[in-house]
Structures are given as structure tokens and as C-alpha cells.
Amino acid sequence: MRGFDLSPYRRATVGFDRLFDFLENANRAEQDNFPPFDIEKLGDDSYRITLAVAGFKPDELEITAQQNMLVIAGRKAESRNRDGNFLHVGIATRAFERRFELADFVRVTGADLADGLLAIDLVREVPEAMKPRKIAIGGQTQELASVPVEKTREEAKAA
């Protein structure tokens, strides 16, 4: 494990703050790469996050969605006897926690565990009030386009 403490050099980094932030974050990211994952775009507003969680049962995984944060945690029950005569132990059974920051209006619609892959489906649902609307030339929105133009001009002259 590599560990760099760049704080003593901070006072000499005027103008290079972003570079040092990048180096510190890259160092932090190297330590947190388990389990591997894919993010897939299924449609215009639907996505899927797939994590490789081989060896974990559904009751050993916990998925929590709160505001704009999705947290997937895995806690493996210690069922194997580690006192055996293992020549090599390479199957990861360590606990993990993977966090994803979700965009606004994205919600989790479901999760499925098959063949050691945990698939979490997401959908982006923008409220009608937040969706873009077309503005007609002349200052009228689509909703007002059904009102006759002559009537609105007469009301403007009367005022």
C-alpha cells in the first residue's frame, strides 16, 4: 500500500492546488476498487449499475438509496474454516462499501443478483414542471398558443 502525505508541500503549491487535489484523490481511489462495476445506459432515461460480487448471497448484500446517494454494502459471514490447509487464498470475502452519487431525479427501480453479478436498475424521472418547454416567437408558450393572437393584442391595447 502506498501512502503519500502531501500536506507539507501545500504552502508551496500556489497555482497548483488542482494538481495536488488530483494526486491525493488518485491515491485514495487506488485503495477503493473493490468490487469492480460497470455502468450501462439502457435507454434515454434508464441505466444499470452492475457489480461483480461473486460469492455473496442476497442476505449478505445491502442496497440503500438516500437522496442523491446510492450505497451498496457487502458483509460476508465467516463460514469457511480459515484453519484449513489452503495453498492459496485468492477469493475475496472481505467486506466492502461502494458509493455512487446519483444525479437529480434518478431513482432505483430494482435489483437482481444472478451469476455473481448484482444488477441495480435506475431511471431518471424529471417532473413535468422541470422539463424544458418550447417558447414560441412572440413570447407565448405552447400552453398559450391555443388563445387567439388577436384577443391577446386587444387586451394589451386596453391596458
Q: 12: phi > 0 → left, psi -120 to 50 → alpha, else beta; which? A: alpha
Spatial distance between the Cα atoms of 61 and 76, rounded to a whole number of angstroms? 8
Helices (H), the chain: 17-31, 149-158
CA atoms within 13 A on the CB side of 139: 3
**Mind listing the pLDDT tens digit of every residue in the chain (159 residues)?**
456 665 666 555 556 666 656 666 665 554 568 899 999 999 999 999 999 998 899 999 999 999 899 999 999 876 555 667 888 888 777 899 999 999 989 999 999 999 999 999 999 998 888 888 888 898 665 554 444 555 555 565 665
d(CA 4, CA 9): 11
What is residue 145's predicted lDDT score, i.e. its pLDDT?
A: 47
Cβ contacts of 34 within 8 Å, gap of 6 or more: 92, 94, 96
- 35 cis-preceded (ω within 30 degrees of 0): yes
Q: Which amino acid is at 127?
A: P
Q: Which domains does the chain have, with CATH numbers?
A: 34-79+87-126 (2.60.40.790)
